[in-house]
Amino acid sequence: MRKYLIGFLIVLGLFLVLVYWSLGETEDEFRTCQVLGMGDVESLDFREYDSVTVAANTLYEASWVKEFMQGEQYRDAWATPVTVPIAYLDTLKGGMTFIEEGGGKQTHSLEFKDPQGIRFTLRSLSKDPEKLVPDLARQLGLENIVIDGVSAQHPYAALAVAELSEAAGILHTHPQLVFVPAQESLGELNEQYGNRLYYLEYESEGPVDWTGIPGAIELIDTEDLQELKLELKDSLRLDREALLRARLFDLIIGDWDRHAKQWGWVLLKGPEGYRATPVPTDRDNAFFDQDGILPNLIANRISLPEVQSFTSDIRYLPGLVQEFDAYFLGRASLEEFKEAAGYLQSRLSDAAIDGAFAVWPPAVDSLDGPQIRSRLKSRRDSIVQYAERFHEVLGDLPSKPIRLSGSEELELPEGPDRCFECDSVPHPGS
């Protein structure tokens, strides 16, 4: 027995050595993109150039020990040089007017509007997950587990997902990569936001429509949609077909982070009332690829069942079904799920999937493109079975009041607090 105990302590000691060796490789908690081949960035006049070559982030470069302990992830993609256009806000889209700072727990962002009042967002590629680091992790010197976890996100996923969305007939925010140098238009925001790499994309809420859908009058967030439903009742209906397609599409691309704040809604007005069509946003976790000993110890079916790597098949579908789905899709029939799945299979042909990655820089595509495309095709081939399982999991969930992310303070009466259309006339087949 003593020998086993000594052996266990030796193994535990070696494990802890490897853990802290891995975590100690990088002291930085945040870096922005690195401009390559242009010398001192602070002294450059970027108006003399139309593009710049950058590495999205070198923070995630790692030795074999770190890759063994914390995963290989998409480290090479983050450090690969790419050439992107330079954007000056006073000329971009005819001249942008600053509205406000935004962003979530990791992403820094700025919101603007163009001369027509259409709203845009600049979302930083570099993530700052400092707010997500628990105090205990800091006390134990383990904060790099959280900081380094961003390397499981593909920095250029949003570009390919937009093309895949286009092929699938799903609305998207049309992200474009741009480098935003320090400039007069940013004023006192230059220190935090200047000389950085961003996605420029349409904002998912605002008073002016950019989708071009006939009858569209504005874009709203989920909380506003819930409040409007209380006011309009049966005069406001959900485009359930579009939402079903969008949620099954999420399964195909492996985007597990789809809470209520990750959606905007196009409000359409017609002769029979109003209709809300979903706009998926924030594709940071599409193609999410987490490996390594430490990440897999932390994220599993018991502790974090929703955090799943993008593999050729879905390992645990119940972990991907969220309260958002119960609220908006709980009344959808099995036939509706299967029809949405068949639609996606027909639209996402091999050629469509392959073509979507033409937007990736060749150096990035050669790293990750072939494997991601293979996994997409595998998931597409199985999407009908996943749809059936999705419907089954939804049916097993208990009926209860649901507080969606971003709507926690919203007071809803009984019925609408459980599902969006609980007080509405059922759809055919419901």
On whether the CB atoms of residues 384 and 342 are closer than 8 A, the answer is yes
Per-residue pLDDT, 427: 46
Q: Using CA atoms, how far apart are residues 129 and 392, in angstroms rounded to an integer? A: 35
Question: Is the Cα dihedral 19, 20, 25, 26 positive or negative?
Answer: positive
Average pLDDT of the residues in 294-323: 91
Question: Is the Cα dihedral 415, 420, 424, 427 positive or negative?
Answer: negative
* Domain range list for the chain: 1-152+172-210, 211-430
Per-residue pLDDT, 416: 82
pLDDT at 423 over 70: no
Per the model's pLDDT, the better-predicted residue between 10 and 150 turns out to be: 150
User: How many CB atoms sit inside 10 A of residue 31's CB?
Assistant: 15
Q: Which two tokens stand for residue 21?
A: 């060796």
- pLDDT tens per residue, range 115-141: 999 999 999 999 887 777 777 777 777
Per-residue pLDDT, 410: 82
pLDDT at 426 over 60: no
Q: Using CA atoms, how far apart are residues 41 and 310, in angstroms rounded to an integer? A: 37
Average pLDDT over all residues of the chain:
91
Q: Using CA atoms, how far apart are residues 120 and 311, in angstroms rounded to an integer? A: 33
Whole-structure pTM value: 0.93
Phi, psi of 218 (to 5 degrees): -170, 170
Cβ neighbours for 212, distance < 8 A, ≥ 6 positions apart: none
Helices (H) and strands (E) in the chain, counts: 15, 12
Among 135-149, 200-214, 268-282, 397-411, the minimum mean pLDDT is found in 135-149
Beta strands in 3-118 (DSSP E): 34-35, 51-55, 81-85, 97-102, 107-113
Phi/psi class of residue 95: alpha, beta or left (left: φ > 0; alpha: ψ in -120 to 50)? left
Per the model's pLDDT, the better-predicted residue between 27 and 304 turns out to be: 304
pLDDT at 424 over 70: no
Nearest to 257 by CA among 236, 220, 288: 288
pLDDT band for position 392 (50/70/90)?
A: very high
Per-residue pLDDT, 428: 43
Cβ neighbours for 297, distance < 8 A, ≥ 6 positions apart: none
Tell me what percent of the residues of the chain surpass a pLDDT of 70.
97
Query: Measuring CA to CA, how many Å separate 374 from each of 90, 170, 381?
Result: 42, 21, 11
- pLDDT tens per residue, range 49-78: 999 999 999 999 999 999 998 899 999 999
pLDDT band for position 106 (50/70/90)?
A: low
- pLDDT tens per residue, range 175-204: 999 999 999 999 999 999 999 999 999 999
Q: Using CA atoms, how far apart are residues 304 and 189, in angstroms rounded to an integer? A: 36
Calculate the CA dihedral of residues 18, 22, 24, 25 and round it to 10 degrees.
140
DSSP letter for 317, please.
G
Per-residue pLDDT, 34: 92
pLDDT band for position 162 (50/70/90)?
A: very high
Tell me what percent of the residues of the chain surpass a pLDDT of 90.
70
Among 240-249, 255-264, 416-425, the minimum mean pLDDT is found in 416-425
Average pLDDT of the residues in 391-414: 87
pLDDT band for position 425 (50/70/90)?
A: very low
pLDDT band for position 42 (50/70/90)?
A: confident
> Distance between the two ends of the chain, CA-based, in angstroms?
62
Q: How far is CA 14 from the centre of its chain?
A: 36
Burial category of 390 from C-beta neighbours within 10 Å (exposed 0-12, middle 13-18, buried 19 and up):
buried
Calculate the CA dihedral of residues 358, 360, 362, 366 and round it to 10 degrees.
-100
Beta partners for 119? Answer: 113
Helix axes 362-381, 334-347, angle to 10 degrees: 140
pLDDT at 343 over 50: yes
Average pLDDT of the residues in 333-361: 98
Per-residue pLDDT, 105: 66
**CATH classification (class only), 211-430:** mainly alpha
Per-residue pLDDT, 400: 87
What number of residues does the chain have? 430
Average pLDDT of the residues in 17-45: 83
User: How many CB atoms sit inside 10 A of residue 186's CB?
Assistant: 17
Average pLDDT of the residues in 156-167: 98
Per-residue pLDDT, 430: 40
Beta partners for 196? Answer: 180
